[in-house]
Amino acid sequence: MTDRQYALNARFVTQSLTGIQRYCYELTMRLQNARLLAPSPALEAYEGVQARVNVTGGYLGGHPWEQFVLPLAISRRQALFSPAGCGPLAHVNQVLTIHDLAPLENPEWYSRGFALWYSHLVPTLARRVRCIVTVSEFCKQRIVELLRVDERKVTVAWEGASSTFPPAPPMKCKRHSTASGFKSHTSCSLVRCQGGRIYLGFCWHGVESSIS
């Protein structure tokens, strides 16, 4: 990232620390130049970013805050990163992480209201934002096919492991089998911020596992 500060949609800090929220939290701790915006203070589980959270929005929370308050809290020219799979339709200069399209492919797994909301919002959002980050080549292909976006707009940034699982030395990390029957290798995706736009900005070593 460059010196230019960008905004980060931190609504996730008001939610329980589970799968997607863990991705957002770990990534946010490493994006030191981001200005974190949330509808309320961060929960205790997010102690690593609590001091950086800027609360804005008064009485609104959740999706209403994200759609109506967040866009007003930043300028139209400022880049916004939304790591949790959703963001404001009104802000075009935005990088959106889409983790999967399960609500579109398997709507029966979700409440009728959520599946309906997702089916209307996310396809439109994906076509409006400046670029999309996703977590695998498979997810990228599904995004291109189902949401009808240009594949050049979608970048894959593999999810990484926490410091509890440090990577092996480069010479040994190309590919290896483990006792549990998994194979893994390191991967790196570069994201850069230039001219006020986030063009895909995260660089880290991730570990991809696949059943051998």
Q: Which domains does the chain have, with CATH numbers?
A: 6-159 (3.40.50.2000)
pLDDT digits (tens, 9 = 90+) for 175-196: 433 333 333 332 333 333 333 3
Tokens of 19: 């799968």
Mean pLDDT of the chain: 79
Q: What is the pLDDT along the chain (212 residues), one digit of tens a residue?
A: 343 679 999 999 999 998 899 999 999 999 988 999 999 999 999 999 999 999 997 788 899 999 999 999 999 999 999 999 999 999 999 999 999 999 999 999 999 999 999 999 999 999 999 999 999 999 999 999 999 999 999 999 987 666 655 555 554 444 433 333 333 332 333 333 333 333 333 333 322 222 11
pLDDT at 166: 58
Tokens of 116: 């309906």
pTM here? 0.76
In DSSP notation, 46-110 reads GTTTGGGEEE--TT--HHHIIIIIGGGGS-TTS-EEETTS---TT--SEEEEE---HHHH-GGGS
pLDDT at 19: 87
d(CA 41, CA 157): 28
Classify residue 33 by its DSSP letter.
T
User: Which DSSP helix (H) or strand (E) runs through 35?
Assistant: strand 34-38
pLDDT at 159: 77
Whether the CB-CB separation of 7 and 34 falls below 8 Å is answered with yes
Residue 97: burial class (beta carbons within 10 Å; 0-12, 13-18, 19+): buried
Angle of CA points 154, 160, 161, to nearest 5°: 165
d(CA 62, CA 51): 20
